[in-house]
Every structure is written in structure tokens, then in C-alpha cells.
């Protein structure tokens, strides 16, 4: 029977402001090595090679930085074997050729609770952001297709692009971090890349003709880069 754990204390700085909100770096759980959050895979590789730690289903961790900081603190308090399963490699080989790896996964109740709390925290934050954007009347942006400027609520621009340019990215209320979303799309167009098939063209007019004739004025739903801009992906 699994015990019911108390809510976990997520790491904060002495000033009471979460370190994760201020630093773009993620430290190794065991040593002083640090990596940019965007270099998450390099950190995971480092911890496997240098410290024999494997984190299971890491893609399902809602906030990787907070997750790492939590376990860095816990491993400093107790031995790693109190938390991790031990996987022995080359078990049939001589002892000196064997290796022990440590698996950190949500089979451990504490790890599962941590993952759930990080997911709930991210959901709360993203819902607050969505709510703020839904009622924001200070939105200002330019249409990607006709350079017309829009001020007020984001829905005015998104509805304009759907109605006038047949470019539909979904209901405005389903979008979150709209400014960043539009910036990503604009950068692709500036790089002469079709938003749907993602081919690159030699000039802007050729790209426009291609997207109009091929009815490619839409985003590629298979591109996971866009998932973070749709609220449903956080639920």
C-alpha cells in the first residue's frame, strides 16, 4: 500500500522568488555543471555518463528545471539508493566490468507526486496567461499578409486573417502566448518558408503564390513546435 505524501516543497531562493523564474540555466543534480534549459539533452547525457542517473519519461515532466532542483536538494539530504532503482549492466561479466545505473521514475510515490504538482502548477500559470490575453484590450500587431495594423483585442487580428486571408489557426480563446505564436509564424515567413509544407522559396512573391495556389495558408498540425500555443495541450 502506497503512503499518501504531503505536498512537496518546490525549490525557492532565499528572497522567496523561485530560482527557476530568474535563471536560464539548469544545474546537474550531482555536481556544479550547468546547462542552458534549451540544452536539456546535453544535461541528461552528462548525468548518464558521469553520474549513472537515468530519468524516465523526462518528456512528460512539466517543468524540467524545477524537477532537477528538487531532486538536487533531496539527493543532498539522503543517499540516491533511497529513491532510485538500481540497474546493473553486464551482470554476467567480472565485477570490475559491471556498472550500476540509477533509475529515477514515477514508480516512486514522491517522484510521481512531484510530477503531478509541477503539471498542476504549469496548468494554473498557463490558464492565468490565457485569461489575461482573452480580456486584454492593449493588444497591437500587424497582419502577416496585408500589413494592416490592429489594436484592441487579439481576436480582431485572428478573425481578420481567417476571414480575409483564409488563414485559420483556430478560435482565439484556444490560443495562449499569442504574441510569441505570431512572432514564430512571422519569422518563418521572413525566412521565405511555407507555414504548411515548410518548403523554403527563393523570394516573397513566389512564396505567396505557392501558399495561395496550394491552399497552404495554414499551419502544419504535425509540427510539435506549435503545441505550446494551444491550451488543450496543457490539460
Write the pLDDT tens digit of every residue in 166-212. 998 988 899 999 999 999 999 999 999 999 999 999 999 999 999 99
Mean pLDDT of the chain: 89
Residue 18 is predicted with a pLDDT of: 47
CB 28 within 8 A of CB 51: yes
Longest pairwise C-alpha distance within the chain: 72
Choose the weakest-confidence range: 73-77, 92-96, 182-186, 225-229.
Answer: 92-96
34-44 burial, b if ≥16 CB within 10 A, otherwise e?
Answer: ebeeeebeebb
Question: What pTM value is reported for the model?
Answer: 0.73
CA–centroid distance for 71 within its chain: 19
Q: What is the pLDDT of residue 121?
A: 94
User: Between the CA of residue 108 and those of 55, 57, 113, 220, what are the distances in Å?
Assistant: 12, 13, 9, 38
**Cα–Cα separations (whole angstroms), residue 150 to 11, 30, 158, 167, 182:** 41, 50, 10, 16, 13
Q: For residue 14, what pLDDT band results from cuts at 50, 70 and 90?
A: very low
Mean pLDDT of 118-132: 95
Angle at 152 between CA 147 and CA 155, to 5 degrees: 75
Q: How far does CA 92 lie from the centroid of its chain?
A: 40
83: nearest Cα among 70, 95, 94, 93:
70
Q: What is the pLDDT of residues 36-73, one digit of tens each?
A: 998 999 999 999 999 999 999 999 999 999 999 999 99
Amino acid at each position: 500500500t502506497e503512503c499518501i505524501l504531503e505536498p512537496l516543497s518546490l525549490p525557492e531562493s532565499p528572497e522567496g522568488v523561485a530560482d527557476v523564474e530568474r535563471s536560464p540555466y539548469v544545474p546537474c543534480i550531482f555536481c556544479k555543471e550547468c546547462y542552458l534549459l534549451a540544452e536539456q539533452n546535453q544535461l541528461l547525457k552528462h548525468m548518464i555518463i558521469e553520474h549513472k542517473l537515468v530519468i524516465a519519461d523526462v518528456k512528460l515532466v512539466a517543468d524540467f528545471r524545477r524537477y532537477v532542483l528538487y531532486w538536487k536538494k533531496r539527493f543532498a539530504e539522503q543517499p540516491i539508493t533511497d529513491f532510485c532503482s538500481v540497474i546493473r549492466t553486464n551482470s554476467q561479466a567480472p565485477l570490475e566490468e559491471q556498472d550500476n545505473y540509477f533509475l529515477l521514475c514515477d514508480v516512486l510515490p514522491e517522484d510521481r507526486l512531484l510530477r503531478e504538482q509541477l503539471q498542476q502548477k504549469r496548468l494554473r500559470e498557463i490558464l492565468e496567461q490565457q485569461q489575461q490575453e482573452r480580456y486584454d484590450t492593449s493588444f497591437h500587431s500587424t497582419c502577416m499578409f496585408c500589413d494592416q495594423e490592429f489594436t484592441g483585442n487579439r481576436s480582431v487580428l485572428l478573425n481578420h486573417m481567417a476571414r480575409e486571408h483564409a488563414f485559420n489557426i483556430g478560435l482565439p480563446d484556444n490560443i495562449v502566448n499569442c504574441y510569441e505564436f505570431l512572432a514564430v509564424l512571422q519569422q518563418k515567413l521572413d525566412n521565405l518558408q511555407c507555414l504548411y509544407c515548410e518548403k523554403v522559396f527563393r523570394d516573397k512573391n513566389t512564396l505567396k503564390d505557392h501558399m495561395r495556389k496550394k491552399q497552404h495558408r495554414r499551419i502544419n498540425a504535425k509540427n510539435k513546435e506549435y503545441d505550446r500555443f494551444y491550451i488543450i495541450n496543457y490539460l
